[in-house]
Structure formats: structure tokens, C-alpha cells
């Protein structure tokens, strides 16, 4: 099976690419759909033939004609005129509303028109780091390297509830959205052998926090839209709950991208 993301050839029964970790898509033959097409297409052709025959019959019948009396014409003109006046009135109301928005409308419009950008992270820290026999680097900087196969992994016994990473910005920014790659996705086995984050607590420098939930069986970027934007110079991501791995009790996060302005 060829991976559509990187072109790597995988085993026939593989569900994830053993090179980039993307989920493999199997294209199956839909016999029922094709049978429906075989029935629908002839039916459409027959219907078109019937329509053509009816049109020919109508054109040949020279006695067939349609008349509109003067009262009908006047009614049509009046309805058209009324409709145009109504449309002009509606257009005028819309223009006035757009020209004089309320305070709330102005705030929302200005905020929505600002294009989100990636916030610059200048430093990072974590409460713990996994140390294993492979001597791999599982530090918090791994969530910022753009490589989905490298991870931060907490280093305490158990699933790591309450363990966290902190990302420091170059200044105070308004944070609106996060994108997270969840779990270790360098291979299919790595993803399910280790824990993945189920819910995560996002803490800001003003002391506020929000809880976000991540899906499982997802090796791509997951988008977290904050319930409200927050002005902050750092965020702390704390493990709140996990999807358990079947072999290792280590919780991993692959990538974190913070968006705002």
C-alpha cells in the first residue's frame, strides 16, 4: 500500500505509514453504487427522450398559443415595481447597519478580520522528561522542531497526570488557537504502545485556564479553538487525562503550534 503523504510503500495490511505515520487510505470497490448508476443512467436517458418528443409535439401544434390580457400585464408590472421598491428599502437598511455597527459588532468584526499567525516561542520547559534505555532525547523542545515523529514524553511513574510543558513567547500575544500532534507517531506500534493525551489543561500567564479534549486514532494536527482569546506571554500544557498505551505508561506529545496575533 503506497502512502499518499510521502509515497512510501507499506505492507498490504498496514494501517499507518511506517515512514511518516500518516493513516493509510484503502479504496474499495462499491458494487452497490455502480449498480445504482447502471439503473439511473438509462432512466435519465429515457426521461430525456420523452421530454424531446413532447417538445416536438408542442411545436407542431400550431393552434397552441398563450395569451396574457391587459389586466395580467398590469398586475405583473405592479408586482415587479413593488418588489424593486422593497429590495431598495432592504438594501438601504443593510447599508445603514453596516455603516453604523454597534460596539459589539465592531469588536467582533475587527477581531475576526485579523489573520492568525504562528506565535514565536523563544524558550520552553517541562516538569519532567523521560529517560529510557534507548537514550533518546524526549525534551520539551521536540514539540517545536516541526518533526511529528519526535516527541516530548513525561518522565514520572504512571501516565503523567499533572506533568506539563511550558512555552514562553517573545512578548505578550493574544492566543486564539492551538494545533497539536498527539502521541508518538513514528510508527503504528509507537502510537498505540504509548499513552496519548485525552484532555489537556491550558494555563495562561494571567492565571486563567481552559480544558481541551483531543481525539484518538488521529496522527495529524488537531486544532483547538479556545473558548475565548487570552493575552499571555506563555502557555503551560498540563496532562489532564490520557488514552492508555498497551505496553508503555509514557504520555507523549509530538508537536505544538500556537496561533494568534
> CA 151, CA 154: separation in Å to the nearest integer?
10
Q: What is the pTM of this model?
A: 0.58
* HSE, side-chain direction, 13 A CA sphere, residue 256: 27
Cell 453504487, residue located: 33
Ordered by start, the domain boundaries in the chain are 117-260
User: Domain 117-260 adopts which CATH fold?
Assistant: Jelly Rolls (2.60.120)
pLDDT of residue 66: 36
What is the full per-residue pLDDT of the chain (261 aa) written as tens digits?
Answer: 678 788 888 777 777 788 887 877 655 444 455 555 566 777 788 888 888 888 777 666 544 333 334 444 344 344 444 444 444 444 333 333 333 333 333 333 345 567 999 999 999 999 999 998 888 999 999 999 999 999 999 999 999 999 999 999 999 999 999 999 999 998 768 899 999 999 999 999 999 999 999 999 999 999 999 999 999 999 999 999 999 999 999 999 999 999 999
Amino acid at each position: 500500500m503506497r502512502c499518499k503523504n510521502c509515497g512510501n510503500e507499506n505492507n498490504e495490511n498496514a494501517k499507518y505509514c511506517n515512514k511518516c505515520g500518516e493513516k493509510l487510505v484503502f479504496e474499495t470497490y462499491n458494487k452497490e453504487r455502480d449498480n445504482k448508476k447502471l439503473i439511473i443512467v438509462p432512466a435519465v436517458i429515457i426521461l430525456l427522450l420523452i421530454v424531446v418528443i413532447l417538445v416536438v409535439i408542442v411545436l407542431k401544434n400550431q393552434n397552441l398559443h398563450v395569451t396574457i390580457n391587459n389586466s395580467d400585464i398590469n398586475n405583473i408590472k405592479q408586482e415587479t415595481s413593488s418588489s424593486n421598491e422593497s429590495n431598495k428599502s432592504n438594501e438601504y437598511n443593510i447599508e445603514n447597519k453596516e455603516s453604523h455597527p454597534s460596539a459589539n459588532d465592531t469588536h467582533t468584526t475587527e477581531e475576526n478580520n485579523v489573520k492568525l499567525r504562528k506565535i514565536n516561542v523563544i524558550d520552553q520547559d517541562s516538569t519532567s522528561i523521560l529517560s529510557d534505555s534507548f537514550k533518546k532525547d524526549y525534551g520539551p523542545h521536540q514539540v517545536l522542531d516541526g518533526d511529528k515523529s519526535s516527541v516530548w514524553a513525561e518522565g514520572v511513574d504512571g501516565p503523567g497526570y499533572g506533568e506539563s510543558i511550558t512555552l514562553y513567547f517573545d512578548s505578550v500575544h493574544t492566543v486564539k488557537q492551538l494545533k497539536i500532534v498527539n502521541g508518538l507517531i513514528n510508527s503504528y506500534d509507537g502510537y498505540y504502545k504509548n499513552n496519548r493525551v485525552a484532555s489537556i489543561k491550558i494555563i495562561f500567564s494571567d492565571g486563567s485556564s481552559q480544558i481541551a479534549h483531543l481525539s484518538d486514532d488521529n496522527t495529524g494536527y488537531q486544532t483547538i479553538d479556545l473558548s475565548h482569546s487570552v493575552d499571555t506571554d506563555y502557555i503551560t500544557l498540563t496532562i489532564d487525562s490520557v488514552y492508555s498505551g498497551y505496553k508503555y505508561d509514557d504520555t507523549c506529545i509530538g508537536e505544538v503550534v500556537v496561533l494568534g496575533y
